[in-house]
Structure 1
Amino acid sequence: MDIDDLASRIRAGERRALARAITLVESGRADHRAQATALLEALKGHGREALRVGLSGTPGVGKSTFIEAFGLMLTGQGLRVAVLAVDPSSARSGGSILGDKTRMERLSRDPQAFIRPSPSQSQLGGVARRTREAAELCEAAGFDVVLIETVGVGQSETMVAEMSDLFLLLLAPAGGDELQGVKRGIMEMADILLVNKADGDLKTTAIRTCADYAGALRLLRKRPQDPEGFPKALTVSAIEQEGLARAWEEMQSLADWRRAQGHFAGRRAEQARHWFEAEVREGLLARLRREPVRGAMAALGAQVEAGAITPSAAADELLSEYLQLDRGAREEA
């Protein structure tokens, strides 16, 4: 694969080249990982900056409907929109439906939009392992807004906040129990809460729910990256396309304030450090899955299972010998 040619085609905004590059960074093969790293290095310093917006919400809250309506509004303003949708993978078969293009039929046909579904592959945090790199590729391809949709909502669905500039939490009307369930871990990460389905018979309920969330947000500790009035709760209707323009205005206002105050660039620098450390941890775990460490781990595991050694003592023994085993294997190679 000609990495320089692929990089130049991505900079030119070729959708096929972008799709091929995302497939490359998502691959787990060692040779593909080396090529993906070279590609990301070649694209470094491209000078383009998209607004990365993370979006999470409970199943059935209307994330796909909202993204389609919101994306069409943005493309109608002349903006290029990329959607990175993460689908949950089955714990049994490992498969994913990847049906986001079907759910966003109108947006998928828009020449100004690009939709890429990816499997979570049992990755915690609501995103796929390589979603961050896919967002960097979309940014290099000249997209103005990158929407990152997570698999759902829960205490662990906060990883998307480590790869986005703004984090939106989509909520359903009459979500009192929902508020109790997600108030920590994710509400503290959210910049804007959007109460969806504020239409028809649910409109009054949505307004009341929005007021409840706004009250709950006032109880949270003030964050240095927020201007006065943020985080805030708003009502939207993806079906009737009401409230979308105001939500976009609030997002732009928050992003502009953070840029002016230095929080925007500072946060991206912190995220880069976070993902560097995550890559180091993942690399160390990958070595545990290779020989001869894998064999030593299996042997000690059998001893633990037989009761000949405690789990803590076995772990200490493996870790003390790990570097020697791994160093010896690399020297032989």
Structure 2
Amino acid sequence: MTKQSPADLAPRILASDRRALARAITLVESGRAEHRAQAVELLDTLAGEGRQALRIGLSGTPGVGKSTFIEAFGMMLTAKGLKVAVLAVDPSSARSGGSILGDKTRMERLSRDPNAFIRPSPSQAHLGGVARRTREAVSLCEAAGFDVVLIETVGVGQSETLVAEMVDLFVLLMAPAGGDELQGVKRGIMEMADLILVNKADGDLKPAAMRTVSDYAGALRLLRKRPQDPEGFPKALPVSAMEENGLEKAWDEMTALAEWRRANGHFDQRRAEQARHWFEAEVREGLLARLRQDPEIRAKMRELGDAVASGESAASAAAAEMLEQLGG
């Protein structure tokens, strides 16, 4: 990996060299200090190119058919001549091994498509690390000339919030359900969604899927109107990944929403806010890393942590003492 310098990789990525893109993503995933320095240099070089893709976050509970949907949706987009990258955020992989995109054979057709690129998430990493790597992988895919970047999340709560901070559109993929299941959908995730797609709207499940679409549409109407949305958004639609029905309609709605936001200044404003968010997150991570490397600070943190754990000190008081020492 160290033999491939940022100066070598950058022009190859800009020329849409897939092997260079894969190497670059491996570089940003590496935890080694020298690789991190190279990754930062590469990302800074590519940032000046200003290439943009439409970033779409996709979440849904296990069993909803995300892999089938992504393959069918991706194949539809590549048939239109678009280049599609699929990335994943899987904070659970360190615990369970993670099935999300864990096996590209589940998207065999799309993985063979010359206009598609599929990258599973790194395993054995904490959520913040996965989020940073995914965000940087998105930037690399944009630099490589991809038109659409799909970011799949396992659907465990916090990962949705992180993905929402790196995408232009957030899509929830749901299964046909009854009223009880609808009640179980977290309001926070509903509020993040730009589109809710009810999958499996085919065969015996089609009537249930259409009822579910109606239920979600009613629930969305009760949410507070967002300034970044035109009339009618967010909305719920039926799709069938298996029969490949409703995919064109879903894409039309996504592009219509993105174009409206561009025309009204919300798109660029959101991108700017996200860039600032990740800059501040990087600074926080860097400061914490430096603190952890200082043996005196580590010892003091342990001492105060033990005091809090034993009930000798309140957490707020111990934190104030620690911060006072750092400030001094």
State if a TM-score over 0.5 links the two structures.
yes
2:163 corresponds to which of 160, 163, 183: 160
Q: Deviations over 1:293-319 (max 9, x none)?
A: 222212333344455544333322222
CA distance in 1, matches of 2:221, 2:293: 50
The answer as to whether partners of 2:170 and 2:192 remain within 8 angstroms in 1 is: yes
**Which moves more between the two structures, 18-27 or 172-181?**
172-181
Rate the CA distance shift 1:24–1:156 in 2: closer, same or farther, 3 A: closer
Q: Which residue of 2 aligns with 1:315?
A: 319
The answer as to whether partners of 2:131 and 2:163 remain within 8 angstroms in 1 is: no
Q: Which residue of 1 aligns with 2:44?
A: 41
CA distance in 2, matches of 1:211, 1:248: 20
CA distance in 2, matches of 1:276, 1:214: 36
**RMSD value over aligned CA atoms?**
2.1
Q: How does 1:104-115 map to 2 (within 5 A)?
A: 104-115=107-118
**Which moves more between the two structures, 153-162 or 79-88?**
153-162
Cα displacement (A) at 1:278: 1.3
CA distance in 2, matches of 1:236, 1:267: 28
Q: Which residue of 1 aligns with 2:278?
A: 275
The answer as to whether partners of 2:171 and 2:195 remain within 8 angstroms in 1 is: yes
1:7 corresponds to which of 10, 14, 17: 10
Amino acid at match of 2:323: L
Q: How does 1:279-290 map to 2 (within 5 A)?
A: 279-290=282-293
Q: Secondary structure at the match of 1:230?
A: coil
Rate the CA distance shift 1:235–1:76 in 2: closer, same or farther, 3 A: same
Q: Deviations over 1:67-104 (max 9, x none)?
A: 000001111111110000233435558x5455241211
CA distance in 1, matches of 2:274, 2:93: 29
Q: Secondary structure at the match of 1:267?
A: helix
CA distance in 2, matches of 1:222, 1:305: 44
1:298 corresponds to which of 289, 299, 302: 302
CA distance in 2, matches of 1:178, 1:124: 30
CA distance in 1, matches of 2:174, 2:126: 24
1:239 corresponds to which of 237, 242, 245: 242
More helix, by proportion: 2
Q: Which residue of 2 aligns with 1:18?
A: 21
Q: Secondary structure at the match of 1:118?
A: coil
CA distance in 2, matches of 1:306, 1:253: 57
Structure 1: runs of 5+ lacking an equivalent: 325-333
Q: Secondary structure at the match of 1:130?
A: helix
Q: Which residue of 1 aligns with 2:259?
A: 256
Q: Which residue of 2 aligns with 1:194?
A: 197
The answer as to whether partners of 1:85 and 1:100 remain within 8 angstroms in 2 is: no
2:175 corresponds to which of 128, 149, 172: 172
Q: Secondary structure at the match of 1:206?
A: helix
Rate the CA distance shift 1:298–1:250 in 2: closer, same or farther, 3 A: same
Cα displacement (A) at 1:157: 2.1
Cα displacement (A) at 1:128: 3.1
Structure 2: runs of 5+ lacking an equivalent: none
Question: TM-score if structure 1 supplies the norm length?
Answer: 0.90
**Which moves more between the two structures, 178-187 or 54-63?**
178-187
The aligned length equals: 322
Amino acid at match of 1:301: G
1:57 corresponds to which of 31, 55, 60: 60
Rate the CA distance shift 1:307–1:53 in 2: closer, same or farther, 3 A: closer
**Which moves more between the two structures, 82-91 or 240-249?**
82-91
Rate the CA distance shift 1:38–1:30 in 2: closer, same or farther, 3 A: same
The answer as to whether partners of 1:124 and 1:157 remain within 8 angstroms in 2 is: no
Question: TM-score if structure 2 supplies the norm length?
Answer: 0.91
The answer as to whether partners of 2:88 and 2:134 remain within 8 angstroms in 1 is: no
